[in-house]
Structure 1
Amino acid sequence: MELEGVSLPLIHKHLMMPWNDLKRGDCCGRSGFTTGGYYCKRCDFYVHKKCVDECLEYIEHPSHTVHALKLQSKPDYDRCRLCCMWIENLCYCCKICDFYVDLFCVKYPPPDVIDISETHHHKLTHIKKWTEFNCIAKCGKKFYEFPYKCLECHLMFDMDCVWNPPEAKNQSEVNISSHPLHPLKLHTSQPPDYSDEKCRLCTRKIEGLFYHCSSCNFSLDMRCVINPPPQFVMDLKVHDHELTLLPRLDSFTCNACGLKGDRSPYICVQCGFIIHQDCLSLPRLININRHAHRVSRTSVLGVVNSVCGVCHQKVDWTWGGYSCQRCPQYVVHSKCATRKDVWNGKELEGVPEEIEDIEPYVVIDDNTIQHFSHKEHYLRFHVNGLLWEENKRCSACTHPVRLQSFYACKDCDFILHQHCAESPKKEWHVLHNDRLTLVTSVANFFSCTACSRLSNGFMYQCDFMKLDVLCGSVSEPYIHPGHPHHPLYYIPQVEEKQCNGCNNREVRVLTCIESGCGYVLCFDCATLPQVVKHRVDDHPLSLCYGEEASGKYWCDICEKETYPRHGFTRVKITELVCIQSACWET
């Protein structure tokens, strides 16, 4: 017999079904101490029966004696004025005074003064104003909320660490739908030795309180007890059929990402589709910093003979992943595409793709352009700067223009190397997960995030990320003359690696991924010009890569010994200069 829906007009606009489970409520937002309630599947909205039974449309409350408080859903102000916690959905408010209280604090208002002699030897006072503090209790975390404070010691405590109403303590035993055979008992000590010390539903390592069934070796952490994953999911963006949670240990391969799992997937009983819980929320359409176009998620990549555009490992086309509609062979593993260092977290489904003008200049004729950074004058093309004054430098990269083609303004000293003039107004870069904007008016010197060079030239910037135009132009695959046989890639890492060019150790490096190669270049060496002209010599100096050499070599500028076989040098027949910019730019 089907259960009938319950109408709760003060609480929710749809009929709600009785729901006998321990679950975090959208009513008080701090469940975990009560079972039973009502659920709207259409809105995924759940309220506790106890909260519903105690809700009145208007109440008088000691925290706000000047006006009555009215029950309201989804307030504009989303933090409780008593405890500073986020309001999930329902609250009581006074619109006249802009005063909001969540349902938990209505029933259990935090006392103005508490005595916790087992934790601290003085009484604590509730400070009802925004305060940034480090909690002195066992959590040790930093907060910005309403603390309890010792007025004698000036120590501050997070409310949840020092006060909870006796009625709100966790139950010693709960019934949970994901384990209907036996009740789960509250444990306050370490997980049993025979367990794997992980939550059966979410795989997180169990820390602190948890519930356990010793008969079945079934453990749940508090987060999954309070807010368990739904037993059924119907989302056409994920799969065409309803998915069912399988709360048990079982090895499987996820159809969405192609990776192994060992517990509690969602399965489709109609077609055998199986998916990790966290893969349910994979975005449909995104930008990643490794590709110029949007990539979209697909359940089966189809027959492609490609490697992942992020990790550069082979892609199994029988599983799901991300692909580019414009570039049929470009594919990315699901987990690689959604890494924090690759994706900016923005879902683009339903967001129209804007056609942006990122071209840096307008062509006037075969030898003339108008660059967006210098609109007042046209720039003329020159093959090289050998006949120009030696101190002429590119306004973008600030390097001399002597041996490279460039554009120059005949009315002023503005000069751009040809390759610098072609730098787009906006650019994706492997070092940042959001698009960088080319800034052409830099007032002060800045340090390039990639290579640490100081510059006052053009800069690619987004938030804290600042790249000079040379490092900003680095993209994958990166081909360098010093390692011509294999391309280089940026592989994020924690440990420093030794650069094959300068022998310095750096974290941000470009790496050869071919087995057994191990070639590494820092961004500074990767962006060195191939040929330079020194002011004290009539001949150009070429960048050389680990040449065979006998005897000792000395830099003719700084007079320090160089090691041509173990790094980059700048040489001509009669002269050798080390790659330190202080020498070759002198």
Structure 2
Amino acid sequence: MEVEHFSHPDHPLILINQVLEYSCELVICSGCEGPIWGPCYSCTCCYFFLHKQCAELPREIKRRIHPRHPLHLLAKPPSHYTGCVCDRCDKTCNSFVYHCSFCEFDLDIKCAFQPGFSDADSQAHQFAHKDHPLILNEEQEYHGAGVVCSLCKEPMSGPSYSCTSRNVFLHKKCAELPPEIKRHLHPEHPLVLLPNHDTMCDFCNETCYENFVYCCFVCEFTLHIKCAFPPCLDAADQNHFRRLLNPLSLKSISFTCNACCTDGDGFPFGCPMCQLVVHEECISLPRTLKTALHHHPRIIHAYHPQQCIESINKYCGICRREVDSNYGVYYCPDCDFVAHVDCSREYGDSATEIAGENEEEQSVVVDDQLMKPSFRIVLEIKHGEERIIVEIKHFSHRHNLILIDKVDDDLKCDGCMLPISTPFYSCASCNFFLDKTCSIELPRQKKWQYHENQLILSWNQGEHHLHKCGVCKQYFRGLIYFCDVCPLCVDVRCFKSILKDSFKHGGHEHPLYLPADRKSILRCRIGGRGVPPLLADDRENIPHCSGCCVSEESKVFLKCARCDFKLGMKCATLPYKARHEYDDHPLFLTYINENNYQPSCIICEKDRDPKLWFYRCEECDFDAHPECALGKYPYVKPGGVRTYPNHPHPLALVVKTEDYRSQACDTCGEPCDDLALECTDPNCSFIVHRQRVQCLMSLW
């Protein structure tokens, strides 16, 4: 590897893994003047070496000890120096040095990258008094005159840190100040805790006499500790807001509300200590809400979301539009969900809070999450600190299920009917399998945000009983969530996809969401078959699925907030891998037709649209329509042997195609080319349409 380095412009440097011996002399780094033992950069034309880390030093840095200007890396001290001394360790610098030309300030590279000195991860007491350890005293109070905090200069009282050998005292809250904060008064950049050099506070315009201030490197913006942490900031008591009037006239004031991020024009309320300006109606915003559009129990209001959320989502979890994190939002303390205040109020209800000893111990009473498990633990083992559930008794099966970590490519989960993945639970007595999600992660009862009633996890009644999912409109056997008030039922394959706020699919680069409008929320209320008929004006706005270009009349579709991509639930839940008897290899769901040709389906031999999704085997150059590759009933598992009273042998569920037209139904005489029940006795040719089972049962 060859590089050009500013410290050696005449020749390129080459990275070598070990130092070459030069007449048995010790090889010295030209950057830090230390010996080189490991990888380094070397010049093949002259005696010049650099440690790998010295060669890769940044050309510009910023440090707390010199916050006003950046420091630039020089290969040698400035030429006008008679001697260069590091301003931190007072040692002479002869080689690489970080230099400020405005202040004639210098740092050698060891001091510039001293552990804990360059990173903003130390609390105040760790660099306010680094000579001796500070001892925490939770109870002692100081009433004597002249005993003040070394940071804020206020009298000492309550819990504190102290160093008795140097007579240093710090309030507990001062000693534990965060190294970096964000404030609405200066939203462009974070403010870093730094030692004070008699600077002026940009909020109160007074000289700071505290030992530390919060400063922005880029803008040279400074805040007192007191101004950075006003006592009423985000307080539950809203009495600190006062009406603001235009001092020059009685004209209205144009502003952006810090609570809800909407524009206002009038006479707002404000708090100079919190640096907040709000609408009058936003003073009484509920601190906590619960919303049907989010699966966690509560969302909390924050004026400064940067201080509450480690990773702020840029898009509202309800309307999917962008969120300005410099203004107030509702956020979820359990995940990265955020929402506009107006959206939260439209789709939320105030949560009931039970006050604990302090605000951190408050809990929210909710009645929409009944987390009754769907299984009972039979055996579990401990592997280190991890608990592994080895054997369970699941409500859907009569035998115990055992954890397995090896899988056959052709196995399907009996819960969701998708190809199974490890680890999974298996029955040792019969051909029954459940993947980990379906077996131990699904609760018996769950509130879905798009339905007003609880949904209950259940198992298909009867070996040959099928359900039609109210979301994807597919027939299936397996686990279902159903409503005991209205006829809605959802298979777990769809339910796992739509349970969370967003859905990431391999066929699209952006997250997908269920639309959050009133029609969507009300579509599954009591009446009809779970999804009411479309009105005439709604039919004109039926979206077309980007995967199959078929309109979704159920109006259950996923939408991208950033582009015009829409995905029907039938395509959204297609299995990634499929098997077909015409190919020995697995077929994989493919979203883009790489070659620009008019392709055809190998199975039906009809042309297919190259813009639509298909299944493909690269090894055999095998392309197929999804419906051809999967069949008419991809989520119905054949088998399920059951004995009927009017037939002496057990019957099994089978899927017949047009190739079996010679077999006629023993009840109606028509060819069986769909779902049928077939006798398992090889000497008996009895077969009947599944729909005709009711006819049989009426005769019994």
TM-score by length of 2: 0.41
- Larger Rg computed on CA atoms: 2
TM-score by length of 1: 0.48
